[in-house]
Structure 1
Amino acid sequence: MRLTMTSFFPKALETIAETRVSVRRITDFMLIPELRSIENETHSQANNTLHSDPNNEKNNASQGTSETLNMPAKDGSDIVAVNSPKKAILNNLTMKLHKNELLAIVGPVGCGKSSFCMALLQELPLVSGSMDIAQQEGRPQSALRMSYSAQSPWIFAGTIRSNILFGAPFDQERYDTVIKACELTRDLSLFPQGDETVIGEKGVTLSGGQRARVSLARAAYRDSDVYILDDPLSAVDPKVGRALFENCINGLLKDKARVLVTHQLQYIKHCENVIVLEQGQVTHTGRVDDVMREEVVVETQVDDGASIKSVKMRAKFVDVLREFAKKAPEVSEDEEAAEISRAAAEANAAAHLTTAAAAEAVSMYDDVDAPEKNLTVEEVQEGETPIKVYYDFFRLGSSPFQLILVVLSLAGAQAILVAGDFFLSKWSSQSAEEQKRSYYPTVFGIYCLATVIMTLARSFLFFHSVSESSRSIFMAMLNALLHTGIDFFHANPHGRVLNRFSKDMANCDELLPYVFFDATQIVFMLFGSVIVVCVVNAWIVIAIPFLLAGFIGLRSVYIRTSRQVKRIDSQTRSPIYSQLSETLDGLTSVRAFGAGERFMNRFVEAQESNGRAFFAYLICARWLGFRLDVLSALFIGVTAVACVAVRDTQQAAMVGLALNYVIQLSGELQWAIRQSVEAAILMVSVEPKVTFSDMSLTYPRGDGPVLKNISLEFKGGEKIGIVGRTGAGKSSLIGAIFRLVETTTGNPPHRGGISIDGIDISQIGMHDLREKMAIIPQEPFLFRGSLRFNLDPTSKHQDADIWAALEAAELKRTVEALP
Structure 2
Amino acid sequence: MGLSLTTSKVFASMTVFDILRNSIALIAQWLNKLMNGKVSLDRIDGFLKKTELLDAFDEKEVPVLFSAGLEDEEKIGFRNATFSWSKQPDGSLTRSRQFMLKIDGEVLFKRSRINLVVGPTGSGKSSLLMALLGEMHWIPASPDSWYNLPRESGIAYAAQESWVLNETIRDNIIFDTPFDEERYKKVLYQCAVEPHLALFQAGDQTEVGEKGLTLSGGQKARLTLARAIYSKAAILLLDDVLAALDVHTAQWIIDRCFGGDLVENRTIILVTHNVTLARPIADFIVRLGSDGRLAPTAKYGSLSTQIPKEEQIQDKSDQKLDTAAHITKPADGKLILAEEMQLGHVSASAVKMYLLSLSANHPVFFFTFLFGGLLFNQSSNALMTWMLGYWASQYEDRSVEDVNPIVAIALTCCTSLAVMFTFLLLGQLRASNVIHYTLIDSVLLTNDIRAVDDSLPYLIWPLATLTTSMLVRFAAVVFYTPIFFFPGALAAAIGACIGQIYIAGQLPVKRFMSNARAPVLSQSSIGHCQLTTYPVSIRAFGAQSKFTIESIAKIDRYTRAARNYYNLNRLECWHVGSSS
TM-score, normalised to structure 1, is: 0.60
SS in 1 for 2:28: helix
State the alpha-carbon separation in 2 of the partners of residues 351 and 602 from structure 1. 24
State the alpha-carbon separation in 1 of the partners of residues 117 and 189 from structure 2. 26
Which of residues 386, 390, 415 in structure 1 aligns to 2:379? 415
Which of residues 481, 488, 497 in structure 2 aligns to 1:537? 481
State the alpha-carbon separation in 2 of the partners of residues 16 and 612 from structure 1. 24
Q: What is the CA-CA distance between 1:144 and the residue it aligns to?
A: 5.5
Aligned: 1:82 with 2:86: yes
State the alpha-carbon separation in 1 of the partners of residues 179 and 397 from structure 2. 96
Asked if the contact 1:53–1:133 (Cα under 8 Å) also holds between the matched residues in 2, the reply is no
State the alpha-carbon separation in 2 of the partners of residues 394 and 406 from structure 1. 12
State the alpha-carbon separation in 2 of the partners of residues 381 and 560 from structure 1. 10
Q: What is the CA-CA distance between 1:7 and the residue it aligns to?
A: 4.0
Residues 290 and 98 from structure 1, CA distance in 2 versus in 1: closer, same or farther, beyond 3 angstroms?
A: same
1:292 partner letter: L
Deviations 1:81-119 (A, max 9, x none): 336342351332243212023232223333322222222
1:458 partner letter: M
1:305-384 equivalences under 5 Å are 345-346=326-327, 348=329, 354-355=335-336, 376-384=337-345
Residues 119 and 280 from structure 1, CA distance in 2 versus in 1: closer, same or farther, beyond 3 angstroms?
A: farther
Query: What's the counterpart of residue 391 of structure 1?
Result: 352
SS in 2 for 1:437: helix
Which of residues 278, 289, 293 in structure 1 aligns to 2:300? 289
Aligned: 1:510 with 2:458: no
SS in 1 for 2:287: strand
Asked if the contact 1:406–1:458 (Cα under 8 Å) also holds between the matched residues in 2, the reply is yes
Residues 284 and 196 from structure 1, CA distance in 2 versus in 1: closer, same or farther, beyond 3 angstroms?
A: same
1:480 partner letter: S
Which of residues 266, 278, 283 in structure 2 aligns to 1:256? 266
Aligned: 1:588 with 2:550: no
Query: What's the counterpart of residue 95 of structure 2?
Result: none
Which of residues 8, 13, 20 in structure 1 aligns to 2:38? 20
1:200-219 equivalences under 5 Å are 200-219=209-228
Q: What is the CA-CA distance between 1:616 and the residue it aligns to?
A: 1.6
State the alpha-carbon separation in 2 of the partners of residues 414 and 256 from structure 1. 82
The alignment yields a C-alpha RMSD, in angstroms, of: 3.2
Aligned: 1:68 with 2:87: no
Which of residues 551, 575, 579 in structure 2 aligns to 1:603? 551
Query: What's the counterpart of residue 239 of structure 1?
Result: 248
Query: What's the counterpart of residue 132 of structure 1?
Result: 147
Query: What's the counterpart of residue 470 of structure 1?
Result: 432
Query: What's the counterpart of residue 100 of structure 1?
Result: 112
Quote the sequence identity (%).
25
Query: What's the counterpart of residue 503 of structure 2?
Result: 559
Asked if the contact 1:148–1:228 (Cα under 8 Å) also holds between the matched residues in 2, the reply is yes
SS in 1 for 2:462: helix
Asked if the contact 2:219–2:322 (Cα under 8 Å) also holds between the matched residues in 1, the reply is no
Residues 104 and 391 from structure 1, CA distance in 2 versus in 1: closer, same or farther, beyond 3 angstroms?
A: same
Query: What's the counterpart of residue 425 of structure 1?
Result: 389
Asked if the contact 1:67–1:98 (Cα under 8 Å) also holds between the matched residues in 2, the reply is no
SS in 2 for 1:258: strand
1:382 partner letter: L
Q: What is the CA-CA distance between 1:346 and the residue it aligns to?
A: 2.7
State the alpha-carbon separation in 2 of the partners of residues 133 and 82 from structure 1. 20
Q: What is the CA-CA distance between 1:522 and the residue it aligns to?
A: 0.5
2:29 partner letter: K
State the alpha-carbon separation in 2 of the partners of residues 195 and 216 from structure 1. 16
SS in 2 for 1:434: coil
State the alpha-carbon separation in 2 of the partners of residues 268 and 536 from structure 1. 101
Q: What is the CA-CA distance between 1:555 and the residue it aligns to?
A: 1.3
2:111 partner letter: K
2:340 partner letter: E
State the alpha-carbon separation in 2 of the partners of residues 469 and 176 from structure 1. 57
Which of residues 599, 622, 639 in structure 1 aligns to 2:570? 622
Deviations 1:397-431 (A, max 9, x none): 54324444433332232122112111101101113
1:602 partner letter: E
SS in 1 for 2:138: coil
Q: What is the CA-CA distance between 1:439 and the residue it aligns to?
A: 5.3
Q: What is the CA-CA distance between 1:471 and the residue it aligns to?
A: 3.8
Q: What is the CA-CA distance between 1:391 and the residue it aligns to?
A: 2.8
Q: 5+ unaligned residues in a row in structure 2: which ranges?
A: 1-17, 93-97
Aligned: 1:50 with 2:65: yes
Q: What is the CA-CA distance between 1:72 and the residue it aligns to?
A: 2.2
Aligned: 1:10 with 2:23: no
Aligned: 1:569 with 2:569: no
2:85 partner letter: A
Q: What is the CA-CA distance between 1:609 and the residue it aligns to?
A: 0.8
Q: What is the CA-CA distance between 1:229 and the residue it aligns to?
A: 0.8
Asked if the contact 2:156–2:236 (Cα under 8 Å) also holds between the matched residues in 1, the reply is yes
Q: What is the CA-CA distance between 1:150 and the residue it aligns to?
A: 1.2
Query: What's the counterpart of residue 281 of structure 2?
Result: 270
Residues 259 and 131 from structure 1, CA distance in 2 versus in 1: closer, same or farther, beyond 3 angstroms?
A: farther
Asked if the contact 1:199–1:351 (Cα under 8 Å) also holds between the matched residues in 2, the reply is no
2:382 partner letter: V
Residues 113 and 34 from structure 1, CA distance in 2 versus in 1: closer, same or farther, beyond 3 angstroms?
A: same
Q: What is the CA-CA distance between 1:16 and the residue it aligns to?
A: 3.6
Q: 5+ unaligned residues in a row in structure 1: which ranges?
A: 58-65, 135-140, 303-313, 319-338, 356-375, 482-496, 633-665, 667-819
Q: What is the CA-CA distance between 1:458 and the residue it aligns to?
A: 2.3
Query: What's the counterpart of residue 643 of structure 1?
Result: none
State the alpha-carbon separation in 1 of the partners of residues 32 and 401 from structure 2. 42
State the alpha-carbon separation in 1 of the partners of residues 53 and 328 from structure 2. 37
SS in 2 for 1:49: coil
Q: What is the CA-CA distance between 1:447 and the residue it aligns to?
A: 2.5
Residues 467 and 119 from structure 1, CA distance in 2 versus in 1: closer, same or farther, beyond 3 angstroms?
A: farther
SS in 2 for 1:246: helix
2:499 partner letter: R
Residues 301 and 198 from structure 1, CA distance in 2 versus in 1: closer, same or farther, beyond 3 angstroms?
A: closer
Which of residues 416, 427, 447 in structure 1 aligns to 2:409? 447
1:639-658 equivalences under 5 Å are none
Residues 571 and 96 from structure 1, CA distance in 2 versus in 1: closer, same or farther, beyond 3 angstroms?
A: same
Asked if the contact 1:277–1:283 (Cα under 8 Å) also holds between the matched residues in 2, the reply is yes
State the alpha-carbon separation in 2 of the partners of residues 340 and 128 from structure 1. 44
TM-score, normalised to structure 2, is: 0.83
State the alpha-carbon separation in 1 of the partners of residues 301 and 67 from structure 2. 30
Residues 54 and 510 from structure 1, CA distance in 2 versus in 1: closer, same or farther, beyond 3 angstroms?
A: same
Q: What is the CA-CA distance between 1:242 and the residue it aligns to?
A: 0.9
Asked if the contact 2:76–2:148 (Cα under 8 Å) also holds between the matched residues in 1, the reply is yes
Q: What is the CA-CA distance between 1:203 and the residue it aligns to?
A: 1.9
